[in-house]
Amino acid sequence: MRVHLFAVGRMRPGPERVLVDDYMTRFDRTGRTLGLGPLVEHEVEDKKGGGMEAEGELLARVIPSGALLVTMDERGSVLSSPEFAQRLGYWRDAGRQDVAFVIGGPDGIAPDLRARANFSVSFGAMVWPHMLMRVMLAEQLYRAATILAGGPYHRV
């Protein structure tokens, strides 16, 4: 199952970029034997200043047809890491070809795109900067792969 990380905005070189790249590499290495991956990052940028609606349209255009759409949203379900891993494994086992995780811009995800989501995940009641959300999501995807593989990375 291909895993996509869609985000609004371009991530510049720096510590966040290094972390995202590291966790994506780890995910690909661990997930390959589990039928997960590759993990591909897609960035969209609204250069015309159209706001959340324009960002939503840009995202909708690049999400693969038929992909399971998961929004990262403060209103979503709060899952433990094992629950997140279980859900990822379920989607894989159900034969999903693509799962698309979407991180919105500073104003969030456009309501139309949010309404299309098959599932929504929250990393808690706090709002996180979208660049940190990429790091946290990439890490949780890697953690999920290690949980599914029975590896020692995740400790209870």
pLDDT at residue 156 above 80? Answer: no
What pLDDT, on a 0 to 100 scale, did the predictor assign at position 69?
A: 98
Query: Which CATH topology does 27-106+124-149 take?
Result: Alpha/beta knot (3.40.1280)
Angle at 64 (CA atoms; ends 60, 68), nearest 5 degrees: 90
| pLDDT at residue 119, rounded to an integer | 98
* Residue 128, pLDDT above cutoff 90: no
Contact 123, 136 (CB under 8 A): yes
Give the predicted TM-score (pTM) of the model: 0.94
Q: What is the pLDDT of residue 49?
A: 81
Rounded Cα gap, residues 102 and 58, in angstroms: 12
- Residues 6 or more apart in contact with residue 151 via CB below 8 angstroms: 30
Q: Which comes out higher in pLDDT, residue 39 or 49?
A: 39
pLDDT in tens, 55-110: 999 999 999 999 999 999 999 999 999 999 999 999 999 999 999 999 998 888 99
Pair 77, 71: CB distance under 8 Å:
no
Residue 129 has pLDDT above 90, yes or no: no
Tell me, what amino acid is at 55? E
Amino acid, single-letter form, for residue 132? L
Task: Give all strands of the β-sheet with 68-78 in edge-to-edge order.
Answer: 39-44, 2-8, 98-103, 68-78, 119-122
Question: What is the rounded average pLDDT for all residues in the chain?
Answer: 94
Pairing of β 119-122 and β 68-78: parallel
pLDDT for 130 beyond 90: no
Cα dihedral across residues 9, 11, 16, 19: positive or negative = positive
